[in-house]
Amino acid sequence: MNKIPTLLAASLVALAAWAQPSARVNDTKPSGNSPIRLAASKMAHNAKKANLLIPDWKRNATKPAKVRKAAGDGPLIMEQPEGTLFSNLYAEGQGYYPYWDFAVEADVDAALGNYVLCDNGDIYIRNAICTMPSGAWIKGTKAADGTINVELPQKYYSQPVLDDNGEETEETEYFYAWRMIKEEVDVDGQEGLTMTPDETSQTIKYVLRNDSLIRVDTAKVYMAVGDETGTWTGFGDHINQMSPETMTIATPPADAAVTKYLMTYSADDVTADSRCVDVAIKGDDIYIGSFTDDVDNAWIKGRLEGGKAIFTDRAYIGINHNDSCHAYFSPAGYVQQDGDYGIVDSIYIEKDLVFDCNTESNTMKTEGTFLVNNGKKFIYPAAHYNAPSLRLFKPVAAAPADPEIVDFQDYDSGYGYGNVAFTLSSTSADGGDLDPAKLYYNIYFDNDLFTFRKSEYTNLPEDEITDMPYGYSDKWDIFSYGNKRSMYFYKSDYTSFGVQALYKDGDTVYRSNIVRYGELDGISATEAANAKSMEYTDLCGRKVKSPSTGIYIMTTKFADGTKKSVKVIR
């Protein structure tokens, strides 16, 4: 089901407007978050509307029989084939993806490219269409002239067929990589350009050059995604190549002492956040690490000069596994420009990020900005840090400050979900430093501790999560942006929602109060955790199963047999 976020939820994921235009597909589940059904609702900043119509592939448009028959052959290859793997190459391309009901053209930069070279010279290519990485491999055969010929159509993606009620069935429908060209046709009663299978050839050509795999067809030929009849889905590209990344990752020397600092910053003009970072100094070199959860062991290297710490130019920091791309540190700035809806802040890349250093207080401050940027050719921030300030980290072990629920949208049976937004603090209730890596939160529906399960939250890294890490985001159901959190929920039978922050220090767990939205006001966090059941009565003493507007008495029975009654106004 397409999600329609609230205005607040939309603001929490505003950075997604800069995300890579490629569709996010859950490779571990054939249907995943179907890019075929869920057209993008945000356009990448460098994308532009294309003069192309997208047919309604659900109508199973008629195509030539010879093409339709070819689409039924061959397996969908999801397992890595045997051979020598060339992995995590720097893949780039240009192509199309659907945006609502029309196609847009955009560049894709720094995706993870993978191919397998077989002993006989054949090649298997993973995610061959840059605007729709499906996780599938397609096969190419080495020709006598040394080129790699990919004979299409080949299966590229699958998803369950939906019944008339929109529910998944056990039947599977396949989508294929086709060689397509632009053609002027009638699309659902509208004359215009669209993509159709090329009936003169279904061969796409590549060449290998110094471990780089490069597509060599003309710009008028596209590898595109269509159904078994060749009806275009809106995805396709005409430029695609993958090469080894030559930039190296900076790491501090083994004998450099590493010190924990607390970095505070804003993710926008109003959203504050903080995190622990590592700082290492060796001579005039300074290193900052652990500034992002998206990239493992990320470090940047700068120089100390005249009371300044200077970090120059874009630097490679490693692989962003959350977004499946190469990531870079980038100094950045903002300039105000006229946009479609008034004055907007536009990001640009700066030459340097300069901190003022105070050796007496062990602090570093700057009014500048830096990005964790997906790619090095365009601006695709995975995270950005405005005015970061670093000071020595002095942790305490204590109960976290209480969360704050800032928006709640009740479960809607028409959409099949509800939405909540809340803020979390990385300080204790009395203002002490807490290590964000040790912070978690719990969700309650009524008095029941909620467990996130992969069967419902399909992008979870584990089958079940009850204690949700402080900064976790799956970029689909659960979002983290500064100190704000937003999540969709699918539970309908509840009368209250609660959130509680946790701080884990070894075997000791410190808890905030449970902050609630709903009818449990008057019950403390300790009581709520020990509650066994609840019942409502009206002012005449009659039991009420589902209280509506009015005044009620809520009686909570605890595990030790005691009861507590409070007045609830709805």
147-158: average pLDDT: 96
**Is 121 in a helix, a strand, or coil?**
coil
Q: 336: how many CB neighbours lie within 10 A of its CB?
A: 9
pLDDT beyond 70 at 285: yes
pLDDT (average), residues 150-155: 96
pLDDT at residue 6 tops 60: no
Q: Which of 41-55, 244-258, 460-474 is predicted with the least confidence, judged by mean pLDDT?
A: 41-55
Strand 232-243, strand 272-282: pairing: unpaired
CA distance 127 to 114: 8
Query: Kind and range of the H or E element at 12?
Result: helix 7-12
C-alpha to C-alpha distance for 379 and 183, rounded to whole angstroms: 33
Q: What is the pLDDT of residues 481-517, one digit of tens each?
A: 778 899 999 999 898 999 999 999 999 999 999 999 8
Contact 399, 416 (CB under 8 A): no
Residue 69 burial by Cβ neighbours in a 10 Å radius (0-12, 13-18, 19+): exposed
Q: How far is Cα 264 from Cα 389, in angstroms, rounded to an integer?
A: 5
pLDDT in tens, 163-174: 888 788 999 999
Q: What is the pLDDT of residue 65?
A: 38
- Residue 295 near residue 320 (C-beta atoms within 8 A): yes
CB 114 within 8 A of CB 128: no
Comparing CA positions, the residue from 30, 122, 133 lying closest to residue 75 is 30
pLDDT in tens, 174-219: 999 999 999 998 776 778 899 999 999 999 999 999 889 999 987 7
Q: How many CA atoms lie within 13 A of 291 on its CB side?
A: 29
User: What pTM, to 2 d.p., does this model score?
Assistant: 0.73
Other CB atoms within 10 Å distance of the CB of residue 163: 10
Written as one letter, the residue type at 66 is K
Confidence of residue 256 (pLDDT cuts 50, 70, 90): very high
**Mean of the per-residue pLDDT values of the chain:** 83
Measured in residues, the chain has a length of 570
Percent of the chain with pLDDT over 70: 81
Are 53 and 110 in contact by the 8 Å Cβ rule? The answer is no
Between the alpha carbon of residue 179 and those of residues 95, 129, 241, the distances in Å are 13, 11, 17
pLDDT score at 54: 85
Q: Are strands 448-449 and 439-445 parallel, antiparallel or unpaired?
A: antiparallel
The answer to whether 215 touches 148, Cβ cutoff 8 Å, is no
Q: Would you state the structure tokens that stand for residue 478, as one six-digit string? A: 């659960």
* Residue 80 CB partners (closer than 8 Å, separation 6+): 116, 124, 126, 137
One DSSP character per residue, 320-344 reads ETTTTEEEEEEEEEEEEEEETTEEE
Q: Contacts from 556-560 at CB under 8 Å and sequence distance 24+?
A: 556/447, 556/523, 556/527, 556/531, 557/531, 557/532, 557/533, 558/527, 558/530, 558/531, 558/532, 559/530, 559/531, 559/532, 560/530
**pLDDT digit string (tens) for 399-409?**
999 999 988 99
Q: Is 30 within 8 Å of 22 (Cβ atoms)?
A: no
Alpha helices, DSSP H only, in 192-306?
none
